Each structure stands twice: as structure tokens, then as C-alpha cells.
């Protein structure tokens, strides 16, 4: 299914279904949802990392939703049931930043899971695609619109209309991937990136993420207003004083998250 561990102030979730190309079935989706909610509610965790096991014959981040399960539900039960819990996760609100550590293809819902994350570290054996059109589907759990927000529109349109994946190298070139690494290095490098984030004030990290997302496409005046609201919020925190004290005293800050 999947497993979850905490390393200091970084949480790591690993999809672990190598026999099914790390496809996400309902139990895995529910586990991911519960773990993500627990991580978001835990003030000691600053960053989350999600990856897929590379065990098995073909290393894979995730092939997306388990289509065998979806077919059984669609044609074996309620014919109006087109839901899948993976979509619930990908629509959920959160404050914790997430890094996708991708060491193999991320396709369909697997790619949508990557797009749900804030940062991406990928190995050169990775690829990214939303092949839903090949099965008379739409990447409805964020794939189409999030891809168009994160990479040039023409490249996103190519992915959405052909269903063909793009290589990790191309994904890095168009800005989807933050760091491109050798096979086997995605998770270690993602953890290094997580540590760089987690060294900062947790409130400032979460607030900066929120401002960046909330001000996409808004006029500058509104963006400045939201930015200054964030500044005023942080100035009232204990960690703001700690940041200044640590600077003056020439020591590492000890963040409390409040």
C-alpha cells in the first residue's frame, strides 16, 4: 500500500505497490489522505516528501489511479459512481509544502500527484504524462489545469491532447522539475531540499507558500496588500522575535512555529 515516516521535521510518504506499478487504489488513497491530514496538523513537521518505491522490475513513481479497481466499481457496482479518493486528496487544502521525489514514470494520477506538490526532484529515468485521452478520460483531478499553470501552455496542450509523456529532461527545461538527478538520487536530493526548507521559520514557510499561490494572476495592488497582510501576521509571532534575536546573537534560531 504505502508507508509513512517522520525524519526530524520532514515527513516522507512512499507509495509501495510495485506489483501494480505503484497504482493508487482506494486503500492507498485513504492512507495518503489520512497521512497528509496528520502531517498538516502536526506543527513539528515543516515539509512533506512523497515518492514511489523503485523496487520491482520497472522503477515507477506511480501509474496513477488503479484502473482495474475503477473498472470493477464502474461496471460491477454503482454505474453512477465515478469517484475516486485520489481526487479527494488532490483537491484538499493544506499549509505544508510538499516535494515530489520522482524516480520513474509519473503518469495519469501519478502526474497529478506530482502537480499537487510544490517542488519536484526527478531522476533522468522519469517521465511525466496525462494519458487519460487514450482511455476516453480527462485528467480531472488537476492534471489539465495544473499542468497548464506550471509549464508553457503549448507544451501542456501537447501533453493533454496527445496523451504522450515528456521526458524528465524536457520537464526540467520547461520548469516543471526543480532538480534533475541521476537514477536512485531523487529521494536523497529531495530530502536535502526539504532540509533547506525546514531550516527556516515554519510560519514564514507556510505563509510564503500561501501568498505565492493566492496571488497568481491577481493585480499587483492586490498582491501587495496580501503580502503586507502576511508581513503583519508574521511580525506578531514569537518566531519573528526569535529570528531577530538569533541574528543579533549570531546563533542558529530555535523555531517554535508560533
3-state SS record for the chain = CEEEEEECCEEEEEECCHHHCCCECHHHHHHHHHHHHHHHHCCCCCEEEEEECCCCCCCCCECCECHHHHHHHHHHCCCCCCCCHHHHHHHCCCCCCEEEEECCEEECHHHHHHHHCCEEEEECCCEEECHHHHHCCCCCCCHHHHHHHHCCHHHHHHHHHHCCCEEHHHHHHCCCCCEEECCCCHHHHHHHHHHHHHCCCHHHHHHHHHHHHHCCCCCHHHHHHHHHHHHHHHHCCHHHHHHHHHHHCCCCCCCCCC
Candidates 1.10.3470, 1.10.12, 3.40.50, 3.30.2010; CATH matching 202-248 = 1.10.12
The pLDDT tens digits of the residues spanning 120-164 come to: 999 999 999 999 999 888 998 899 999 999 999 999 999 999 999
How far apart CA 255 and CA 258 sit, in angstroms, is 8
Among candidate residues 5, 112, 192, 249, the one labeled active-site is 112
pTM over 0.85: yes
CA dihedral 127, 39, 7, 84 (to 10 degrees): -30
Mark whether 112 is an active-site residue: yes
* Model pLDDT, residue 257: 87
Q: What percent of the chain has pLDDT over 70?
A: 93
* Model pLDDT, residue 81: 47
Contacts by 152-156 with C-beta closer than 8 Å and gap 24+? none
Residue 221 has pLDDT above 70, yes or no: yes
How far apart CA 232 and CA 226 sit, in angstroms, is 10
Give the pLDDT mean for 98-108. Answer: 97
The pLDDT tens digits of the residues spanning 24-83 come to: 888 888 889 999 999 999 989 999 999 999 887 778 999 987 777 666 665 555 544 444
* Model pLDDT, residue 1: 75
* Model pLDDT, residue 71: 64
Average model confidence (pLDDT) across the chain: 91
Q: What would the grid cell of residue 162 be?
A: 496527445
Among candidate residues 132, 179, 242, 249, the one labeled active-site is 132
The architecture (CATH level 2) of 2-198 comes to Alpha-Beta Complex (3.90)
Domain locations in the chain as residue ranges: 2-198, 202-248
* Model pLDDT, residue 83: 47
* Model pLDDT, residue 20: 84
110 or 56, which is more confident: 110
Amino acid at each position: 500500500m504505502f508507508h509513512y515516516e517522520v525524519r526530524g521535521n520532514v515527513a516522507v510518504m512512499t507509495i509501495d505497490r510495485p506489483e501494480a506499478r505503484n497504482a493508487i487504489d482506494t486503500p492507498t488513497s485513504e492512507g495518503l489522505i489520512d497521512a497528509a491530514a496528520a502531517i498538516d496538523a502536526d506543527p513539528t513537521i515543516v515539509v512533506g516528501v512523497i515518492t514511489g518505491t523503485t523496487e520491482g522490475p520497472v522503477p515507477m513513481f506511480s501509474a496513477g489511479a488503479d484502473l482495474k479497481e475503477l473498472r470493477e466499481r464502474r461496471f460491477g457496482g454503482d454505474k453512477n459512481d465515478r469517484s475516486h479518493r485520489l481526487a479527494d486528496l488532490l483537491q484538499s487544502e493544506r499549509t505544508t509544502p510538499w516535494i515530489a521525489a520522482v524516480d520513474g514514470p509519473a503518469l495519469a494520477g501519478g502526474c497529478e500527484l506530482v502537480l499537487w506538490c510544490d517542488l519536484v526532484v526527478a531522476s533522468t529515468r522519469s517521465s511525466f504524462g496525462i494519458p487519460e485521452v487514450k482511455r476516453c478520460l480527462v485528467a480531472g483531478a488537476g492534471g489539465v489545469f495544473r499542468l497548464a499553470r506550471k509549464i508553457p501552455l503549448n507544451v501542456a496542450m501537447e501533453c493533454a491532447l496527445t496523451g504522450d509523456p515528456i521526458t524528465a529532461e524536457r520537464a526540467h527545461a520547461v520548469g516543471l522539475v526543480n532538480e534533475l538527478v541521476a537514477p536512485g538520487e531523487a529521494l536523497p536530493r529531495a530530502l536535502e531540499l526539504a532540509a533547506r526548507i525546514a531550516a527556516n521559520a515554519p510560519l514564514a514557510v507556510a505563509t510564503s507558500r500561501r501568498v505565492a499561490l493566492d496571488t497568481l494572476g491577481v493585480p499587483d495592488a492586490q498582491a501587495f496588500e496580501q503580502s503586507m497582510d502576511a508581513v503583519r501576521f508574521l511580525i506578531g509571532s514569537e518566531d519573528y522575535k526569535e529570528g531577530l534575536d538569533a541574528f543579533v546573537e549570531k546563533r542558529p534560531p530555535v523555531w517554535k512555529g508560533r
